[in-house]
């Protein structure tokens, strides 16, 4: 690594490369894993919503294949559920700090240069001026009367910060959450442990993590589809016969 150079010919020092790599691979690890914990928790907390997710996914995808990214425009309730998870939990309650690079103002309030700014995303996501009954978990708030995703309202959810320094992985994260949610809904039934009811309490930190909970998971069908899809992906990943590196 000490001998590496970037394309401009400038040596890449270990002390510089290591934190960059950590940012690239680690930035989303905590937030995405936290989001996935909340998605599962809310599925078992509201089993009727889990059933509605399954119903929509089955109607669009069917039982003969797995969900794919191309299905997203036809799964508005799945996306509404994901946006409501992000809004309701606000699992990144405050943004990481940024500082102003020049004197500026926010809504008429003067903000001097080098002022450290935090955005209270939890407050924005629970503002009753924007959200009807913000304390309720209700994915339907993101659907229009004809069942389409209300993109104007989804734009009001703040979880990836704001402005030019917002998270550059926002769209990728949403795609990953979509695939996770649809695959779970398509393949699994998830139930809480009757002896240990799930709690909506959480631990404070950079992210709001739900307390540990216990679940039971069963396949909705057998493993045949998963085996077939796995075999197909293995075949597609193999190089064609006679192929070789140039």
Q: In 3D, which of 89, 95, 127, 45 has the Cα closest to residue 203?
A: 89
Rounded mean pLDDT of 207-231?
87
Residue 208 lies in a domain: yes
Question: How long a stretch of residues is the chain?
Answer: 246
Annotated binding site for heme: 167
Map residue 63 onto helix, strand or coil. coil
CATH, residue 42: 1.10.630.10
Residue pLDDT, tens place only, 112-157: 999 998 889 999 999 999 999 999 999 999 999 999 999 999 999 9
Backbone angles phi, psi at 5, to 5 degrees: -135, 145
Q: Which domain does 121 fall in, by range?
A: 29-237
Contact by Cβ (8 Å): 11, 187:
no
Residue 220 lies in a domain: yes
pTM beyond cutoff 0.75: yes
- pLDDT for 181-195, tens place per residue? 999 999 999 999 989
The binding site comprises: 167
């Amino acid at each position: 690594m000490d001998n590496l150079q970037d394309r401009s010919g400038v040596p890449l020092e270990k002390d510089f490369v290591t934190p960059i790599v950590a940012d690239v691979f680690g930035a989303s690890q905590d937030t995405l894993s936290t989001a996935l914990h909340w998605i599962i928790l809310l599925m078992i907390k509201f089993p009727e919503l889990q059933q509605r997710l399954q119903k929509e996914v089955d109607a669009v995808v069917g039982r003969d294949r797995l969900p794919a990214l191309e299905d997203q425009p036809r799964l508005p309730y799945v996306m509404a559920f994901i946006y409501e998870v992000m809004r309701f939990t606000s699992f990144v309650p405050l943004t990481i700090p940024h500082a102003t690079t020049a004197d500026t103002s926010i809504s008429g309030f003067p903000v001097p240069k080098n002022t450290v700014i935090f955005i209270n995303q939890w407050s924005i996501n629970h503002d009753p001026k924007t959200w009807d009954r913000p304390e309720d978990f209700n994915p339907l708030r993101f659907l229009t009367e004809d069942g389409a995703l209300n993109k104007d309202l989804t734009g009001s959810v703040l979880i990836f910060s704001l402005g030019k320094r917002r998270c550059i992985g926002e769209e990728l994260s949403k795609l990953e959450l979509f695939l996770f949610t649809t695959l779970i809904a398509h393949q699994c039934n998830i139930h809480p442990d009757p002896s240990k009811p799930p709690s909506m309490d959480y631990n404070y930190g950079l992210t709001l993590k739900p307390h540990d909970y216990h679940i039971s998971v069963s396949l909705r069908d057998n493993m045949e589809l998963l085996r077939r899809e796995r075999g197909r992906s293995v075949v597609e990943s193999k190089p064609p016969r006679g192929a070789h590196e140039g």
